[in-house]
Protein backbone atom coordinates (compact mmCIF):
# COMPACT_ATOMS: atom_id res chain seq x y z
CA UNK A 1 0.00 0.00 0.00
CA UNK A 2 1.22 3.49 -0.80
CA UNK A 3 0.74 6.17 1.89
CA UNK A 4 1.77 9.80 2.21
CA UNK A 5 1.31 12.52 4.82
CA UNK A 6 0.36 16.17 4.29
CA UNK A 7 0.07 18.85 6.98
CA UNK A 8 -2.58 21.56 6.62
CA UNK A 9 -3.41 24.29 9.15
CA UNK A 10 -7.13 25.09 9.37
CA UNK A 11 -7.46 28.68 8.17
CA UNK A 12 -10.03 31.25 9.28
CA UNK A 13 -11.80 31.36 5.91
CA UNK A 14 -12.35 27.58 6.05
CA UNK A 15 -14.35 27.44 9.28
CA UNK A 16 -18.00 27.99 10.12
CA UNK A 17 -19.42 30.14 12.95
CA UNK A 18 -18.53 27.45 15.51
CA UNK A 19 -14.86 27.50 14.49
CA UNK A 20 -15.20 24.04 12.91
CA UNK A 21 -13.74 23.24 9.51
CA UNK A 22 -16.74 23.68 7.20
CA UNK A 23 -17.86 20.29 5.88
CA UNK A 24 -17.45 21.31 2.22
CA UNK A 25 -13.78 22.13 2.77
CA UNK A 26 -12.80 18.55 3.62
CA UNK A 27 -12.81 17.79 -0.12
CA UNK A 28 -10.25 20.58 -0.61
CA UNK A 29 -8.01 18.90 1.96
CA UNK A 30 -8.37 15.59 0.11
CA UNK A 31 -7.29 17.28 -3.10
CA UNK A 32 -4.25 18.94 -1.52
CA UNK A 33 -3.13 15.62 -0.02
CA UNK A 34 -3.79 13.65 -3.23
CA UNK A 35 -1.82 16.14 -5.31
CA UNK A 36 1.04 15.98 -2.78
CA UNK A 37 1.08 12.19 -2.97
CA UNK A 38 1.19 12.11 -6.77
CA UNK A 39 3.81 14.91 -6.92
CA UNK A 40 6.01 13.19 -4.34
CA UNK A 41 5.71 9.92 -6.26
CA UNK A 42 7.23 11.64 -9.28
CA UNK A 43 4.36 12.69 -11.55
CA UNK A 44 2.95 16.11 -10.66
CA UNK A 45 -0.70 16.51 -11.58
CA UNK A 46 0.02 19.48 -13.85
CA UNK A 47 2.36 17.25 -15.90
CA UNK A 48 -0.38 14.64 -16.18
CA UNK A 49 -2.70 17.37 -17.47
CA UNK A 50 -0.08 18.49 -20.01
CA UNK A 51 0.20 14.84 -21.10
CA UNK A 52 -3.55 14.88 -21.84
CA UNK A 53 -5.16 13.21 -18.82
CA UNK A 54 -7.23 14.71 -16.01
CA UNK A 55 -8.70 12.95 -12.96
CA UNK A 56 -12.32 13.94 -12.21
CA UNK A 57 -13.97 12.68 -9.03
CA UNK A 58 -16.69 10.09 -9.65
CA UNK A 59 -17.49 9.09 -6.05
CA UNK A 60 -16.85 10.51 -2.59
CA UNK A 61 -17.77 9.26 0.88
CA UNK A 62 -17.07 11.07 4.14
CA UNK A 63 -17.31 10.08 7.80
CA UNK A 64 -17.15 12.95 10.30
CA UNK A 65 -15.96 11.77 13.73
CA UNK A 66 -14.83 14.99 15.46
CA UNK A 67 -14.50 18.54 14.17
CA UNK A 68 -11.25 19.98 12.91
CA UNK A 69 -10.86 23.37 14.60
CA UNK A 70 -9.60 26.77 13.52
CA UNK A 71 -5.78 27.04 13.79
CA UNK A 72 -5.28 23.28 14.34
CA UNK A 73 -2.54 21.63 12.35
CA UNK A 74 -4.22 18.71 10.61
CA UNK A 75 -2.29 15.66 9.43
CA UNK A 76 -3.86 14.11 6.35
CA UNK A 77 -2.74 10.53 5.77
CA UNK A 78 -3.54 9.53 2.22
CA UNK A 79 -3.43 5.92 1.09
CA UNK A 80 -3.89 4.32 -2.27
CA UNK A 81 -5.42 0.95 -1.51
CA UNK A 82 -5.46 -0.80 -4.87
CA UNK A 83 -4.93 -0.36 -8.56
CA UNK A 84 -8.14 -1.04 -10.44
CA UNK A 85 -8.15 -2.72 -13.82
CA UNK A 86 -10.69 -0.17 -15.01
CA UNK A 87 -9.84 3.51 -15.40
CA UNK A 88 -10.47 4.29 -11.71
CA UNK A 89 -8.28 5.00 -8.69
CA UNK A 90 -9.41 5.18 -5.04
CA UNK A 91 -7.78 7.13 -2.22
CA UNK A 92 -8.49 6.97 1.50
CA UNK A 93 -7.85 10.15 3.49
CA UNK A 94 -7.62 10.09 7.29
CA UNK A 95 -7.43 13.42 9.11
CA UNK A 96 -5.83 13.66 12.55
CA UNK A 97 -5.47 16.63 14.90
CA UNK A 98 -2.35 17.58 16.86
CA UNK A 99 -3.38 15.21 19.66
CA UNK A 100 -3.34 12.36 17.13
CA UNK A 101 -7.12 11.93 17.34
CA UNK A 102 -8.79 10.59 14.21
CA UNK A 103 -11.23 13.29 13.11
CA UNK A 104 -12.40 12.25 9.70
CA UNK A 105 -12.22 9.54 7.05
CA UNK A 106 -12.83 10.28 3.38
CA UNK A 107 -12.80 7.93 0.42
CA UNK A 108 -12.50 9.39 -3.06
CA UNK A 109 -12.66 7.53 -6.37
CA UNK A 110 -11.48 9.28 -9.51
CA UNK A 111 -11.36 8.25 -13.13
CA UNK A 112 -8.88 9.08 -15.85
CA UNK A 113 -10.30 11.25 -18.59
CA UNK A 114 -9.12 12.76 -21.87
CA UNK A 115 -10.74 16.22 -22.03
CA UNK A 116 -10.14 16.59 -25.78
CA UNK A 117 -11.60 13.22 -26.76
CA UNK A 118 -14.22 13.60 -23.97
CA UNK A 119 -13.90 10.00 -22.81
CA UNK A 120 -12.44 7.86 -20.05
CA UNK A 121 -8.98 6.52 -20.72
CA UNK A 122 -6.67 4.04 -18.99
CA UNK A 123 -4.37 5.19 -16.22
CA UNK A 124 -1.36 6.95 -17.77
CA UNK A 125 1.45 4.45 -18.21
CA UNK A 126 3.89 6.77 -16.43
CA UNK A 127 1.69 6.77 -13.31
CA UNK A 128 1.09 3.01 -13.49
CA UNK A 129 4.86 2.38 -13.57
CA UNK A 130 5.35 4.61 -10.52
CA UNK A 131 2.58 2.88 -8.55
CA UNK A 132 3.15 -0.73 -9.63
CA UNK A 133 5.96 -1.47 -7.08
CA UNK A 134 3.51 -0.73 -4.25
CA UNK A 135 1.05 -3.29 -5.56
CA UNK A 136 2.82 -6.52 -6.49
CA UNK A 137 0.53 -8.80 -8.49
**Catalytic residue set:** 16
With beta carbons less than 8 A apart as the criterion, state whether 1 and 81 touch.
yes
Rounded (10°) CA dihedral 8, 12, 15, 21: 20
DSSP 8-class letter at 15: B
With beta carbons less than 8 A apart as the criterion, state whether 33 and 76 touch.
yes
Amino acid sequence: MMTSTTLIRVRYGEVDQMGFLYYGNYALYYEVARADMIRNAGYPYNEMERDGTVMPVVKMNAKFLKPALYEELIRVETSLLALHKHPFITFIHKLYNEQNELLHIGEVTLTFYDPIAKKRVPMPERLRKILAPYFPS
